[in-house]
Amino acid sequence: MTLIDNLEWRYATKKFDPSKKVSAQHIELLKRAIQLSPSSYGLQLYKILIIEDSTIKEQLKSVSFGQSQVTDASHVFVFCNYVKVTDEDIDAYFSLKSQIEQVNISDFKGYSDFIKADVNSRTLAEKNQWTSNQTYLAFGNLLNACSELKIDACPMEGFNTIAYNKILGLDKLGLNATVIAAIGYRSEQDNSQNTSKVRKPMENLFIEHK
């Protein structure tokens, strides 16, 4: 199973080679992998910023505890969740669904109303947590796609969310930075690539009811 081989190969890269860049073709493949990710109700209530500009990366590094991955990596993917969810967001999904599936949008009214009732029953904090959780599904697809393409990645939660939101203008867009991934190619000097993976034994990780 090539997926397992690829997952064995990957690790959280600590030191990137700043001279090596991910090709535009591979960036498009990574974007497609993210686009195909599952999400609750299929709504995809998030956006992903792809940062390549060195000046912006320097600003982000300063609010990412000085982690060099942010500036040395080829690109930084910033996964952002919707802070608010409106009926218009749900209507937009069903409008797209109607167009793609070539089904009259009125046929979806019952399901649309059900989703709106579910979403609107949540507090603002609950909605924010829900949409934040959704970003991790897409985030996982990015990491898996990177391993398939032999692109190194470092998943990162160590950053100042408020500062990221300000630097990237996310507040004005109704977005919140949830998690980031620095991607590129490992440096030969990154000793982390030579360490063994530490994972719980299968018997400690799974409980099977047969």
Tell me the pLDDT tens digit for each residue of 93-105. 999 999 999 999 9
What's the whole-number mean pLDDT along residues 189-200? 96
Specify if 147 maps to a domain: yes
User: What tens digit of pLDDT does each residue of 107-135 get?
Assistant: 999 999 999 999 999 999 999 999 999 99
Give the residue from 69, 20, 74, 32 showing the smallest Cα distance to 50.
74
User: Rounded CA gap, 192 and 15, in Å?
Assistant: 8
User: d(Cα 140, Cα 36) in Å, to the nearest integer?
Assistant: 12
The pLDDT tens digits for 147-185 are: 999 999 999 999 999 999 999 999 999 999 999 999 999
Q: State residue 135's pLDDT score.
A: 98
pLDDT over 80 at 192, yes or no: yes
Determine, yes or no, domain membership for 106.
Answer: no
Judge whether residue 81 has pLDDT over 80. Answer: yes
- For the four alpha carbons of 110, 80, 150 and 196, in that order, the dihedral sign comes to negative
Question: Is 91 among the domain residues?
Answer: no
Domain contains 155: yes
Provide the mean pLDDT of the chain. Answer: 97
Range of the domain at 131: 2-85+123-194
Looking up residue 134, the CATH number of its domain turns out to be 3.40.109.10
Q: How far is residue 197 from each of residues 5, 75, 129, 148, measured CA to CA in Å?
A: 13, 25, 30, 18
| Domain total in the chain | 1
205 within some domain: no
Please report whether residue 105 resides in a domain.
no
Determine, yes or no, domain membership for 99: no
Task: Answer yes or no: is pLDDT of 1 > 80.
Answer: no
Would 71 be classed as within a structural domain?
Answer: yes
- Residue 183's pLDDT is 98
